[in-house]
Amino acid sequence: MSTNERIIEARELTKTFSGGVVALDRFTLAVRRGEVVVIIGPSGSGKSTFLRCLNGLEEIDSGSIVIDGIPLDRHRKNRLLIRREVGMVFQSFNLFPHMTARENIDLAQIRVRKKTRTGAAETTMNLLAKVGITEKADRYPHELSGGQQQRVAIARALAMSPKVMLFDEATSALDPEMIGEVLDVMRTLAAEGMTMVIVTHEMGFAREAGDRIVFMESGRIVEEGDAERFFAFPREERTRAFLGQIL
Amino acid sequence: MNKLFHMPAGVRRTALTDSGKFFLLAGLVVWLLTLGTQGMGYHWQWYRVPRYLFTTAGGVWKAGPLLQGLGTTLEISLLSLLCTLIIGLTAALFRLSDSFTARALARSYLELIRNTPLLIQIFFVYFVVSPVLDIGAFASAVLALSLFEGAYAAEILRAGIVSLHRGQWEAAHSLGLGVFDTYRDVILPQAVRRVLPPLAGQGISLIKDSSLVSTIAIYDLTMQGQKIVAETFLAFEIWFTVAAIYLVITFSLSFAVRALENRMNGLPIRGAGGIA
């Protein structure tokens, strides 16, 4: 599914939080167009920080990030450009509570992509159909279940027609019976060839949907590799210990 | 009263006993008032008051000085309310800005205004600023009042803005929305809903504080009352009437805001961002 063209190039990223915690330690990762990269690792290993650096929600201390040819630097304009091309799904959904599902998805299309209301409405209904909740279009987030909220959030990110989708523990806040419906949507996206970087604890999903697994600890890559190989024959001792704990 | 005192479960309260208690209390207050005024030998002349409210000479209804003053008070209050919101919002955004200059500017404004008396600010604007800007007493009054109330409104709005979950900003940013769009579509609609009650309280303060503009020769409600008292010595009747008029307008404002709040509460403002 993936090509050889690199759509994300992160080189030598370092990030230290004010408390002295090292979140990223010369972290380098490239993602090819259409590739699904799953990042796993113990909590505090810098997985989420890496995702948040990719669209500028978090500032890196040093290193370089280039996404689809655009460098993420101090220029506000580039940052906005990158954010338009990179969709993000959060653990806590972060839907806008004062807007209906439909309005949540409309907003960026109208404000950022400068679409007309009718143009946006069509895309919105298509996306709601895609995530399977057309009937909830006019409901407010608090009227939806966690799984439904997260699917609206995915639709909202997709409304920008992003080139890359980032998933930051998208199922961690969900009740177990709702995890499946969100993973299904993510599976569909992966099958359609969307470039995805996913931070998750769902190992079954990682193995089945991921092209490549990256195991992180203390801001560094411990081991990475093809999904099947990674789970079947982990090379590093640390990886085996981690997988042993959670599988 | 049900709300005021916690009653153990099982005690039955009816509207009848509640209103009975209310009227008993009100009666007590009136009785004490009468007792007090009798004690100082005040001669009440309420019948002389209506002509200062309005006259109907020759079948033509005409507003008296008190109602004319009310008109001025309403005019000043409404204009100042509008300016207060604009100034308050600007100052709040400046305080939250990334720019050091903007933050310092907002900070100085807030400290200066909140730590000096409004009366002095009104004098300052009227005697020092207005000749420079070449504005009249009315504009000076509106300027001074909005600068004063704007400082408080700014802090209320800022509190509302920072109370929102960080995820709201992040979601907006991740969609590529700029700062302006984020404030307009995502942050402010939620923040304003949260701070509507204290903001309304500030509006009520503004109406009451507007009585201070009588000191710079503006014939508002208070000034008119003062003038009538000076001419007629009907001190208690006129001041009570003036107070009652203020009460009516502030109460109407509270009522309007309450209605607005109820309407907005149909929409969710809590539980922002899924997991709270």
List CB contacts (< 8 A) between B175 and chain A.
83, 87, 107-108, 112, 156-157, 160
> What 8-state DSSP symbol labels residue A195?
E
List pLDDT tens digits, range A140-153: 999 999 999 999 99
Q: Residues of chain B with pLDDT > 70: what percent?
A: 91
pLDDT for B81-119, tens place per residue? 999 999 999 999 999 999 999 999 999 999 999 999 999
Instruction: Of B206, B183, B169, B10, give the one whose Cα is nearest residue B89.
Output: B183
The answer to whether residues A130 and A138 touch, using CB atoms and an 8 Å cutoff, is no
Give per-residue burial for A37-50: e unless 16+ CB within 10 Å, then b: bbbbbeeebbbbbb
Q: What angle (nearest 5°) sits at the alpha carbon of residue A50, between those of residues A44 and A55?
A: 140
- Cα–Cα distance measured from residue A195 to residue A165, given in angstroms and rounded to the nearest whole number: 6
- Confidence band (pLDDT; 50, 70, 90) for B12? low
Q: Report whether pLDDT(B155) > 90.
A: yes
User: Under CATH, domain B65-264 is a member of which superfamily?
Assistant: MetI-like (1.10.3720.10)
Which of the four pLDDT bands, split at 50, 70 and 90, describes residue B266? low
pLDDT at A60 over 90: yes
* Cβ contact A88:B183 at 8 Å: no
pLDDT of residue A171: 94
In this predicted model, what pLDDT tens digit does every residue of A74-108 receive, in sequence order?
Answer: 888 999 999 999 999 999 999 999 999 999 999 99
Tell me if A98 and B267 make a contact (CB, 8 A cut-off).
yes
A174 with A146: CB under 8 angstroms? yes
Residue A67 near residue A54, CB atoms below 8 Å? yes
Q: Which of B170, B185, B270 sits opposite A90 (nearest CB)?
A: B170
Q: Which of A37-41, A75-79, A158-162, B265-269 has the lowest mean pLDDT?
A: B265-269
CA distance B190 to B264: 10
Query: What pLDDT was estimated at residue A174?
Result: 93
B170, B190, B275: residue with CB nearest A98 = B190
Question: Closest Cα to residue B146, out of B193, B113, B195, B107?
Answer: B113
Domain ranges of chain B: 65-264
The 8-class DSSP code of residue B216 comes to G
Tens digit of each residue's pLDDT (9 = 90 or more) over B219-243: 999 999 999 999 999 988 999 999 9
- Answer yes or no: is pLDDT of B191 > 60: yes
* Contact criterion met (CB below 8 Å) for B164 and B187: yes
B276 has a pLDDT exceeding 50: no
Task: Answer whether residue A69 shows pLDDT above 50.
Answer: yes
Contacts of A211 (CB under 8 A, 6+ apart): A1, A2, A35, A36, A37, A226, A227
Is it the case that residue B13 has pLDDT exceeding 70? no
CA dist., res. A8 & res. A69, Å (int): 8
Report the candidate in B148, B104, B152 with the shortest Cα–Cα distance to residue B124: B148
CA of B165, closest CA in chain A: separation in Å?
A: 9
Alpha carbons within 13 A on the beta-carbon side of A32: 10
Both tokens of B105, joined, read 């500017």
Distance (Å, whole) CA A151 – CA A149? 5
Q: Identify which of A112, A140, A150 has the shortest CB distance to residue B175.
A: A112
Joined together, the tokens standing for residue B245 give: 């008029």
Chain B contact present for A173, CB below 8 A: yes
- Band (B275; pLDDT cuts 50, 70, 90): very low
User: Cα separation of A237 and B183, whole Å?
Assistant: 49
Structure confidence at residue B267 as a pLDDT band (50, 70, 90): low
Question: Chain A 34-53, CB below 8 Å of chain B: which residues?
Answer: none
pLDDT at B269: 46
